[in-house]
Structure 1
Amino acid sequence: MRIEIEDLHIAYAGRTVVAGARLVAAEGEITGLVGPNGSGKSTLLRTVYRHLRPIAGRVLLDGTDIRAMAPARSARHVAALPQERGDDFELTVREVVAMGRTPYKRAFSGEDATDRDIVSRALADVGMGDHAGRRFTALSGGERQRVLLARAFAQNPDVLVLDEPTNHLDVRHQVELLSLLREQRRTTLVSLHDLNAAASVCDRLHVLHDGTVVASGSPREVLTPALMAEVFGVRAAVVDHPLTGDPLIAFDHRTAVGPGPADAVEKTRTGA
């Protein structure tokens, strides 16, 4: 399924946080949102999984306004991994993941063999199959993150919406998770702080700055030294990764820079 965001405006307490955002997450591709803290990435994602209602604009799922769908129907199509992790679950790992089957169940209906198979497979996919009986609250931050990703997989969605999914994960589990996303080939809309991870895993990137999409295109088109200076305020070089050939951003950790030339970001719009 394809996600289209049309002229989205979102406000908190009378203050506009996202202004006129337009972007597309193509079917079967991983589409990344990147930008500085406070640029509107999480806020935008919350409208896609219906946690927030925009003041204007629409989120379309294969051409249908997601707000026009019944919640259970949209939940069968879109699964989310938000930053708010629900640390207070007094449930076992298996029970948490089984919550992903809720959109498919009638009231008071129990778990069946299909549900059990899907839950087991989702746990195995994230490397938590041996922890099904543990209490969720007893897990480390990284383990909880993987369990909640398994819950999203258990929804069997067409679209995954992931807000900083590599938070709390060590390097190995970050690599495994991003590889798993590539293997899934579901339509995926993901926000990432790690620009090199975004360059490696995403088919297309949208850069947010002050609530506006300022650049769109492939990672190689978007992640330029000019954009690094203009949007992120850092000095950087972009080279080819010696192992994968992906764009690799080498940051100057000694020198911050101010805003770049006024047209630096505008030039990256040609990738849209």
Structure 2
Amino acid sequence: MRVDIEDLGVAYAGRAVVSGVGLLAADGEIAGLVGPNGSGKSTVLRTVYRHLRPVAGRVLLDGTDLRELSPARTARHVAALPQERGGDFELTVREVVAMGRTPYKRAFAGDDAADRDTVARALAEVGMAEQSGRRFSALSGGERQRVLLARAFAQDPDVLVLDEPTNHLDVRHQVDLLALLRAARRTTLVSLHDLNAAASVCDRLHVLHAGSVVASGPPREVLTPELLADVFGVRAAVVEHPLTGDPLIAFDQRGPVGGDFDHGEPARGDFDQPEPVPPERGANP
């Protein structure tokens, strides 16, 4: 399933945060959103899984405007792993993952054999099958991340929307997760802070800065020393990874461009925003 975002605008408290954003993820493609904190990555992704309603533009799934679909139908197509994790679930790991089957059920319907098989497969994919009986609230941050990813897989979506999915994961599990995304070949929109990870896993990158897309294309074409200096305020060389051949960014750790941490506009974390506009009723969790 192809995702097109056209001329998207989002405002918080009457102030434009994202403006004129256009990007795409082709069918089966992993499209990465990268950019400094506060550049609008999370805001754009929240419109795709209907947590935010844009004030301008539209999101298309295979040419159909998202606004024409009910929240339940959207949830059958789009599964999200947002940054906002919510509170602790007093549920077992298996019960949390089984929540991904909700869009396919009538109210109060129990799990059938197909549901149980899907949940078991999703747990195995993220390496949490042996933990299925544990309480979610007792897990480490990295384990919770893997369980919530399994919940998204159990939803059996056409499109995955992942906001910083490698947060809280150690190096081994970061590598495993990115390999899993490559193998799944679902249409995926993913935001990543780690530019080398983005260069490795993404077929296409969209670079956001100050609420707008400033570059799009294959990682090898997008991640240039000039862009890294202009957008991220860092000095870096881009070379070929000796093992994979992917672009590898070698940062100058001695200081940012110009030796001043105030390069460009002050960065704001994506959560340092005014109160957002209300989510759509029945929005995908």
TM-score by length of 2: 0.90
1:216 equivalent to 2:216? Answer yes
The match for 2:68 is: 68
Gaps of 5+ in 1: 261-272
1:147 equivalent to 2:165? Answer no
The match for 2:200 is: 200
Say which SS state the counterpart of residue 252 (structure 2) adopts. strand
1:92 equivalent to 2:56? Answer no
Say which SS state the counterpart of residue 86 (structure 2) adopts. coil
Q: How much has 1:196 moved relative to structure 2?
A: 0.0
Name the CA distance, whole Å, in 1 between partners of 2:86 and 2:105.
22
Aligned length: 260
Say which SS state the counterpart of residue 239 (structure 2) adopts. strand
The match for 1:245 is: 245
The match for 1:41 is: 41
User: C-alpha offsets along residues 218-256 of structure 1, whole Å, 9 cap, x if unaligned?
Assistant: 000000000000000000000000000000000001021
Runs of 4 or more off by more than 3 Å in structure 1? none
The match for 1:165 is: 165
CA RMSD of aligned residues (A): 0.9
User: C-alpha offsets along residues 93-139 of structure 1, whole Å, 9 cap, x if unaligned?
Assistant: 00000000000000111110000000000000000000000000100
The match for 1:134 is: 134
Say which SS state the counterpart of residue 239 (structure 1) adopts. strand
Letter in 2 for 1:67: R
Name the CA distance, whole Å, in 1 between partners of 2:35 and 2:155.
29
Name the CA distance, whole Å, in 1 between partners of 2:60 and 2:254.
43
Gaps of 5+ in 2: 265-285
Letter in 1 for 2:162: L
User: C-alpha offsets along residues 3-27 of structure 1, whole Å, 9 cap, x if unaligned?
Assistant: 0000000011111110000001000
Q: How much has 1:85 moved relative to structure 2?
A: 1.4
The match for 1:119 is: 119
Q: How much has 1:86 moved relative to structure 2?
A: 2.5
1:182 equivalent to 2:171? Answer no
The match for 2:105 is: 105
TM-score by length of 1: 0.94
1:255 equivalent to 2:255? Answer yes
Q: How much has 1:140 moved relative to structure 2?
A: 0.3
Q: How much has 1:166 moved relative to structure 2?
A: 0.2
The match for 2:230 is: 230
Q: How much has 1:87 moved relative to structure 2?
A: 3.7
Contact 1:50-1:67 within 8 A present in 2 as well: no
Name the CA distance, whole Å, in 2 between partners of 1:153 and 1:234.
36
Letter in 2 for 1:98: A
